[in-house]
Amino acid sequence: MKRLACFLFLAAPMLAADAATIEKGRAQEKRQCIQCHGLRIIHVQRLPRGAWERELDKMVRWGAVITEREALLEYLAANYGDDKPLPVLPRSADAPSAGK
């Protein structure tokens, strides 16, 4: 039991750092990504980490300024990785109804 408590005590800063990194990434997304496009285009994708890296490289080539690249990458991989389920998106108001 002592070992578990010691492990948890030592792991706590790591877990907090991961949460802090994810939060930095979320802030980076809101600050930088929405300057060029909506968040929906990001949030509907499910890419592996390497593909997210290539997407960030492409955005930088197109002029995006990413000051917290690792944090943004961690955020994208953690929330929109290829292991995450696809979101259920609302239908637009002008979409044909299912019964017609």
Looking at 5-47, which runs of residues are DSSP E strands? Answer: none
Residue 11 has pLDDT above 60, yes or no: no
**C-alpha torsion 14→34→84→13, nearest 10:** 10
Sorted by where each begins, the domain ranges of the chain are 8-80
Q: What is the average pLDDT value for the chain, to the nearest integer?
A: 83
Say how many CA atoms lie within 13 Å of 5 toward its Cβ: 2
pLDDT band at 99 (very low <50, low <70, confident <90, very high): low
Mean pLDDT of 4-29: 67
In the chain, % of residues over pLDDT 70: 79
Measured torsion, CA atoms of residues 53, 41, 44, 75, in degrees rounded to the nearest 10: 40
Distance CA 99, CA 62 (A): 43
18-38 tens-digit pLDDT: 899 999 999 999 999 999 999
User: What's the predicted TM-score (pTM) here?
Assistant: 0.72
Tokens linked to 25:
């990434």
pLDDT at 58: 97
